[in-house]
C-alpha cells in the first residue's frame, strides 16, 4: 500500500499527537529539598531530618555501608484509610535502593505495617543501608495503579548544617 504525501503527513501528525497526549497525561515528578512538604496523591510527605549512622539498632542484618536515617512525617489528606508504601532511594546512576525492612525493637522506625486513617499524621524514621553520598528519596502514592504519583526529596551528600559566617573581626 502506497500513501500519498498528504496521507503520510496525516498519519505522521496523528502518531505524534497521540504520543504527545500519552506523555502529557502523566504529570512530571517534582523534586523538593529536605524540610519542604510535598503532596503526592492523598499523602503529604515531609523529610524533617537526615543523618548518617554507623549502625542500626534492631537491624536483623549487619550493616554493609552506612545507615541513612530519614525522619519523616506522612499525612493522609484523603477521606479514607491509606496504606503508606515502603520507600526507596535513587542514586546518581538511577539505581533504586529499598529501605531496610527487617528491624526489631527500634521505637524510631516507622514500622512494617503502615496504615493511616484520614486526616492523621504519622511520624517516624526510615533507614537505608547505602554508601555516603547524594540521593533522592522517591515518595509515592500508589493507591491507584493506573495513576501512580511520584515526587523526589533531595538528600545531599553532606548533611552537616552550613557553617556560620561571622563579620570582620569575628563578630
Query: Within 10 Å of residue 87's Cβ, how many Cβ atoms?
Result: 20
- Contact between 141 and 41 under an 8 Å Cβ cutoff? The reply is yes
CA distances from 66 to 25, 125, 132, 133 (A): 39, 15, 7, 10
**Angle CA 87–88–92, to nearest 5:** 155
Report pLDDT for 18: 46
Domain extent listing, the chain:
29-160
Q: How far apart are CA 100 and CA 19, in angstroms?
A: 38
Q: Give the global pTM.
A: 0.76
Quick check: helix, strand or coil at residue 7?
Answer: helix
**Which tens digits make up the pLDDT trace of 71-122?**
999 999 999 999 999 999 999 999 999 999 999 999 999 988 889 999 999 9
Report pLDDT for 113: 82
Fold (CATH) for 29-160: Immunoglobulin-like (2.60.40)
Burial class (CB in 10 A: 0-12, 13-18, 19+), 124: middle
Write out the three cell numbers for 119: 486526616
Distance of CA 162 to the CA centre of its chain: 24
Q: How far apart are CA 60 and CA 42, in angstroms?
A: 32
Percent above pLDDT 70 for the chain: 77
Amino acid at each position: 500500500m502506497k500513501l500519498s504525501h498528504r496521507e503520510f503527513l496525516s498519519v505522521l501528525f496523528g502518531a505524534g499527537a497521540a504520543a504527545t497526549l500519552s506523555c502529557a497525561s502523566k504529570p512530571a515528578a517534582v523534586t523538593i529539598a529536605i524540610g519542604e512538604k510535598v503532596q503526592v496523591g492523598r499523602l503529604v510527605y515531609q523529610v524533617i531530618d537526615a543523618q548518617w549512622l554507623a549502625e542500626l539498632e534492631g537491624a536483623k542484618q549487619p550493616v554493609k555501608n552506612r545507615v541513612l536515617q530519614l525522619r519523616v512525617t506522612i499525612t493522609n489528606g484523603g477521606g479514607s484509610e491509606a496504606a503508606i508504601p515502603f520507600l526507596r532511594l535513587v542514586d546518581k546512576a538511577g539505581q533504586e535502593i529499598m529501605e531496610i525492612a527487617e528491624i526489631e525493637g527500634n521505637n524510631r522506625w516507622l514500622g512494617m505495617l503502615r496504615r493511616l486513617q484520614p486526616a492523621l499524621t504519622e511520624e517516624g524514621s526510615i533507614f537505608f543501608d547505602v554508601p555516603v553520598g547524594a540521593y533522592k528519596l522517591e515518595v509515592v502514592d500508589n493507591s491507584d495503579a493506573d495513576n501512580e504519583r511520584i515526587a523526589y526529596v533531595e538528600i545531599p551528600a553532606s548533611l552537616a548544617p552550613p557553617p556560620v559566617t561571622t563579620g570582620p573581626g569575628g563578630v
